[in-house]
Structure 1
Amino acid sequence: MRRLYEAPAYDPSWPRSHWRASHPAPLDLPPLDGETKADIAVIGSGFAGLNAALEAAASGANVIVLEAVQPGWGASGRNGGFCGYGGTKLSDKAIVSRVGLEGARDFRDFQCAAIAHVGQLIDANGWNARQGPDGEAVLAQSPRVWAGFAAEAQDLHDLYGERVDLIPPQALRERGMAGPGFHGALMLDQGFPVDPMAYVEGLARLAIAKGVRICGNTHVTGMTQADRGWRLTTAAGAVLARKILVATNGYSSDNLPNWIGGRNLPAFSAVLVTRPLTEAERQDQGYTDPHMAFDARKLLHYFRHLPDGRFLFGMRGGTSGTAEAHERMKIAVRAHFEALFPAWAAAETEHSWSGFVCLTGSLAPFVGEVPGASGLYAAFGWHGSGVAAASYSGQQVGRLMTGRTAHLPALVRVVPRRFPLPAFRRLWLRLAYAGYGLTDGALPRPER
């Protein structure tokens, strides 16, 4: 396998996350042993892979899923649980420029359908995964950014017919969104917070109940075309399948398949969860709002209250996968948390972990058949917002692979370009982070 980061970034042990601690009995699915055949083989048992497997199995296909560790080990079990808009780093105007006005509106409909799809799955199966009210807050990190929110709200109305709630700086404390780094907010009415481990393990159990075979601890080591299909090799076996879906996102190997190499860029996102906050502590900070929230920085912070009183805070950053770099990242996340929520400086971190999001060379996801490779499909590139987008994309590519009509907007069907000089992708990321640090502005300084 050929991967971009150091080996510790792919350590197969479970991350010490709040989600894993909350669900202390992980699935223990046996590995593939020997050779087998299937109509469809899915590599990766995250949101995209499991939704694809479920949809394909519903049409009568014989489906097998190959997972390097166990369902929920990767990004689908490490994220902040924000089921909302997303999937791309392109602005709305850039999307219009790329695929036209109707294409942009189709992609917006796709995002809304993705959120609804996750909600329907959770509710229909009775999974205890919803963790808060509908809606999401975008917080301005400076007066200048707040001044631009009015134009952004108008753009959302003009493009999509959506109306959003603008909360001026002086009203933030009344709305429970106070903090020294916040200067107004824009409230979206779509999306809801989830327990991602409850959701992904629910998907896995449902897939098994529907006849999908999931093989845990099964690293795919080779991929070759075979008669009327593909052959996947593993340490202890092989799968012959008519069609394959690669759904490994930020944990992909650059040579499985070779086509994906250089088109994706894994990037770290790190999360901490505090001990439960008291009501007095919440009131002292002035941040009590239960909605999902993030700020408008390029190197964004995302945060929310959890149902048990704990507080989740995450951010982008880090360009090395070594153990030492991971420790530095933990320190940085804590420092940013205390800068934005100084009243909670005494609230200890109970859990801290990190994992990969996945960028593409075109800043948009890819979902579909790989050009020039009949029967080989891929779904990846959620740009840090994959709970909804990956889930719905998985369902739709499952439909596509079984010969049915799929809702895949033009934006996600465009093949991502390769990053220039792909071997230097981490260097480009460091340079981008340095630039974003300048344009995002400084964190608030503690009062003395």
Structure 2
Amino acid sequence: MQRILSAYAYGAGPRAGCWWDETCDLPKLNALQGDLSVDVAIIGGGFTGLSAALHLATQGVKVTLLEAQDIGWGASGRNGGFCCLGGGIAGDDALDSRYGRDARLGFRNAEKAAVLFVEETINRLGLDVDRHSKGETEFACRPKDMAGLAKMAKRTHENYGVEATVIDQSDLAGLGMTGGPAFFGALSIPIGFGLNPRKLLAGFALAAIDAGADLFAASPVLGVARNGHGHALKCPQGVVNAQQVIVATNGYSSEDIPIWLASRFMPVQSTVLVTRPLSNAELDAQGWTTEQMGYDSQNLLHYFRLMPDRRFLFGMRGAIRSGPRAEMKARQRTQADFRKMFPAWSTVEISNMWSGMVSLARKKLPFVGEIPASNGIWTAMCYHGNGVAMGSYAGKLVADMVLGRATGECPEVMTKPLTKFPLGRVRRMLLPPVYGQLMLQDRF
């Protein structure tokens, strides 16, 4: 495998301290031993891969999933647990300009459908995922940001068919939404909810196994080659021969599995912390008693939520470089921003911290489809930090495509192949100037 970051980024260091690992067990999976022949092989055991495996297995397809580490080891098992609108970061105006209004509405409908897909799956499987929050709220960091939220509110009904609520600054305290420095208002959209991502992963995995899928851990795919039956996936202790392949590795992808992926995604780190459970007195002291999940209006945004067990989760952009020193500095910045935004909790113990990688596309939109000229290798990836909903939904969409049963649910803009970033394997050198510009914009 060829990856663009240091070995540290793909090792145990960034994941150490992940709170979700302490909350529930995952199915114990064996490593692949020997050779197999299947209809579909899936590379990657996160939301996308597990969702695709579940969907294919329930259709009677012989499917095998190969995970290099453990189920949910990547971003799926270490994210903030926001099942919300998103998946792309292209704005309405950009979508209208590039693709037209109808295509924009098609993508916005898919964002909503992704959240509903996860909700329906949770209900159908009877999963307890510690669900909370009625939609998601964006908080204005500066007075001028309220104009942007008001504009978004007007577009919400057109995009999603629901009414958004603009919240004045004077009303935030009464709703238990007091940050410090103070927010200047907010916008709530009633789509989405918070959850424990590890519990959702466990539900997906157990359901896929029950449906007949074979799931293997500690089975990294070292190479994919064409053969007379389709594709041969080489693992350390065996080979899987598959007619079709789904690559579901997202921010943890390799540049050469398949080679087409080289330079077509940008892995970006995000850091998360979780506090110990907060008392009612501590919640009252800060004025934050809501279970509404939220994020702020900065370009390099912060995301946060009070979880049902009264722990507070807070996340933000991570390190630009990879390595123990960069990881330490990213965690220090995250703690500092948390203390600044919620000063009443400046002495509250932070029990857990970790980081993971999300994946960006140059066009700022996800891709779901067959890799060009691959003869049966498919992928779904690049969710821009919103993979709980969109990643799960994309797994179902790509499974339908593999089956030749695409239902038209996948919007046009998500079927356009990924384009390359400049600079090849050193493309992360593009991040420091971009981050610097965004940080400057966030100050004014």
TM superposition score normalised by structure 1: 0.96
1:413 is matched with which residue? 415
1:241 is matched with which residue? 242
Q: Identify the range of structure 1 (193-202 vs 158-167) with the bigger mean alpha-carbon deviation.
A: 158-167
8 Å contact 2:108–2:159 — kept in the other structure? no
1:221 is matched with which residue? 222
1:191 is matched with which residue? 192
Letter in 2 for 1:178: T
Percent identical: 39
Equivalent residues in 2 for 1:107-122 (5 A)?
107-122=107-122
Q: 1-side partners of 2:20 and 2:161: how far apart?
A: 37
1:337 is matched with which residue? 338
Q: 2-side partners of 1:163 and 1:26: how far apart?
A: 38
Pairwise CA distance, 1:216: 0.5
Unpaired runs of 5+ residues, structure 1, are 443-448
Q: 2-side partners of 1:177 and 1:340: how far apart?
A: 12
> What are the Cα deviations for residues 229-275 of structure 1, in whole angstroms up to 9, with x where unaligned?
11110111111100000000000001111101101010001000001
Letter in 2 for 1:119: E
8 Å contact 2:162–2:190 — kept in the other structure? no
Q: 2-side partners of 1:266 and 1:423: how far apart?
A: 11
1:43 is matched with which residue? 43
Equivalent residues in 2 for 1:27-426 (5 A)?
27-181=27-181, 182-406=183-407, 407-426=409-428
8 Å contact 1:39–1:242 — kept in the other structure? yes
> What are the Cα deviations for residues 382-436 of structure 1, in whole angstroms up to 9, with x where unaligned?
0000100011110111111112123110111011210012233211111111111
Pairwise CA distance, 1:19: 0.5
Pairwise CA distance, 1:276: 0.9
SS at match of 2:226: strand
Pairwise CA distance, 1:111: 1.2
Q: 2-side partners of 1:418 and 1:333: how far apart?
A: 31
Q: 2-side partners of 1:242 and 1:86: how far apart?
A: 32
Letter in 2 for 1:420: P
Q: 2-side partners of 1:332 and 1:168: how far apart?
A: 29
SS at match of 1:172: helix
Q: 2-side partners of 1:208 and 1:5: how far apart?
A: 33
2:437 is matched with which residue? 435
Q: 2-side partners of 1:159 and 1:86: how far apart?
A: 12
Q: 2-side partners of 1:278 and 1:148: how far apart?
A: 35
2:19 is matched with which residue? 18
SS at match of 2:359: strand
8 Å contact 1:12–1:69 — kept in the other structure? no
Letter in 1 for 2:179: G
Q: 2-side partners of 1:332 and 1:27: how far apart?
A: 35
Pairwise CA distance, 1:290: 0.8
8 Å contact 2:49–2:248 — kept in the other structure? yes
Q: 1-side partners of 2:143 and 2:402: how far apart?
A: 48
> What are the Cα deviations for residues 170-197 of structure 1, in whole angstroms up to 9, with x where unaligned?
2111111112241110000000111000
> What are the Cα deviations for residues 115-169 of structure 1, in whole angstroms up to 9, with x where unaligned?
1111111122221104213210000111111232212212334455442100111
Letter in 2 for 1:67: E
Q: 2-side partners of 1:12 and 1:49: how far apart?
A: 21
Q: 2-side partners of 1:212 and 1:26: how far apart?
A: 16
Pairwise CA distance, 1:278: 1.0
SS at match of 1:174: helix
Change in Cα spacing, 1:302 to 1:369, as seen in structure 2 (3 Å) is same
Letter in 2 for 1:97: S
SS at match of 2:175: coil
Change in Cα spacing, 1:386 to 1:29, as seen in structure 2 (3 Å) is same
8 Å contact 1:306–1:312 — kept in the other structure? yes
> What are the Cα deviations for residues 63-102 of structure 1, in whole angstroms up to 9, with x where unaligned?
0000001112111110000001000011122122222111
SS at match of 1:173: helix
SS at match of 1:178: coil
Q: 1-side partners of 2:166 and 2:436: how far apart?
A: 30
SS at match of 1:225: strand
Letter in 2 for 1:341: F
Alignment size in residue pairs: 441
8 Å contact 1:130–1:192 — kept in the other structure? no
8 Å contact 1:396–1:408 — kept in the other structure? yes
Q: 2-side partners of 1:158 and 1:189: how far apart?
A: 14
Q: Identify the range of structure 1 (7-16 vs 103-112) with the bigger mean alpha-carbon deviation.
A: 7-16
Q: Identify the range of structure 1 (388-397 vs 319-328) with the bigger mean alpha-carbon deviation.
A: 319-328
Letter in 2 for 1:308: D
Unpaired runs of 5+ residues, structure 2, are none
